[in-house]
């Protein structure tokens, strides 16, 4: 499911943002940051606005500072959704999550070729569906979904690796009731470690599409960032 909330608060894209650099990885232009000597990787899968969003790259740098080699791929091949551009559904028809999942596999293999021994996937909105698909088949060691789109209860039931779901109280895409269903499904899978949290007073997209001048928005986003870092540290090792 997607809707207007997926397009709210669009970022001002900046290809020069972040402390890392862009290189080809698994055939995709990818923002990479962190020590190339790290054996642990974090794959950050963007929302519809793509890998040049400054808040996303700032988060990637923070994850890198925690010891991970971080990859943020351009799954949209230079065609992120932009405000005033094509209608969302038309854009999604050209950038399906299944395609993203298929393109993620050679990228993960490329990370292994760099010496990476464990990878966690963090998906935001559109990217959460890709992350949960990876989590079903053990391509990764752990997953974090933030304000997911398109994710179903059946997806959650199929997960085989530790997974954290961070949802928003104000979210028509993945409303709290649906996130609670995710939690119930995960509780029934005692063999899979899980963590589910609904953040109060925030809307869909809050973890990456926040106003850096809004103190409360920054605080809520940083709390989510800390939660995802703790999950990666716990399970990607």
Q: How confident is the model at residue 2 (pLDDT cuts 50, 70, 90)?
A: very low
Q: How far apart are CA 163 and CA 38, in angstroms?
A: 22
Q: How confident is the model at residue 3 (pLDDT cuts 50, 70, 90)?
A: very low
Q: How far apart are CA 94 and CA 47, in angstroms?
A: 15
Q: Is the pLDDT of residue 1 over 60?
A: no
Tell me the pLDDT tens digit for each residue of 105-146. Answer: 999 999 999 999 999 999 999 999 999 999 998 899 999 999
pLDDT for the residue 10: 83
Q: How confident is the model at residue 83 (pLDDT cuts 50, 70, 90)?
A: confident
Domain 21-235 has CATH 3.40.50.1820: yes
Q: Is the pLDDT of residue 7 over 90?
A: no
Q: Buried b / exposed e across 111-126, counting CB within 10 Å, b at 16+?
A: beeeebebbbbbbbbb
CA distances from 187 to 131, 143, 199, 202, 212 (A): 19, 16, 19, 25, 35
Q: Give mean pLDDT, residues 31-48.
A: 97
Q: Which two tokens stand for residue 183?
A: 């939690």
Task: Tell me the CA end-to-end span of the chain in Å, nearest whole number.
Answer: 33
Least Cα distance to 31 among 119, 138, 95, 107 occurs for 107
Rounded to the nearest integer, the mean pLDDT of the chain is 95
Least Cα distance to 33 among 53, 75, 62 occurs for 62
User: Regarding predicted confidence, which is higher, 220 or 7?
Assistant: 220
Q: Give mean pLDDT, residues 40-58.
A: 97
pTM: 0.96
């Amino acid at each position: 499911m997607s809707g207007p909330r997926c397009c709210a608060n669009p970022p001002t894209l900046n290809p020069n943002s972040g402390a890392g650099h862009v290189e080809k990885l698994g055939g995709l232009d990818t923002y990479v940051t962190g020590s190339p000597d790290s054996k642990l990787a974090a794959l950050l899968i963007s929302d519809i606005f793509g890998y040049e969003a400054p808040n996303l790259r700032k988060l990637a740098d923070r994850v890198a500072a925690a010891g991970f080699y971080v990859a943020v791929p351009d799954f949209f091949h230079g065609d992120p959704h932009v405000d005033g551009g094509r209608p969302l559904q038309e854009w999604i028809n050209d950038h399906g999550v299944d395609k993203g999942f298929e393109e993620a596999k050679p990228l993960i293999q490329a990370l292994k070729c760099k010496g990476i021994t464990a990878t966690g996937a963090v998906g935001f909105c559109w990217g959460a569906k890709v992350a949960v698909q990876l989590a079903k088949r053990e391509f990764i060691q752990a997953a974090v979904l933030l304000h997911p789109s398109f994710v179903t209860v059946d997806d959650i039931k199929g997960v085989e690796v530790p997974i954290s779901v961070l949802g928003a109280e104000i979210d028509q895409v993945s409303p709290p009731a649906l996130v609670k269903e995710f939690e119930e499904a995960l509780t029934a899978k005692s063999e899979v470690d899980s963590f589910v949290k609904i953040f109060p007073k925030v809307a869909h997209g809050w973890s990456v599409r926040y106003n850096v001048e809004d103190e409360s928005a920054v605080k809520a986003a940083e709390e989510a960032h800390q939660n995802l870092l703790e999950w990666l540290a716990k399970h990607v090792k």
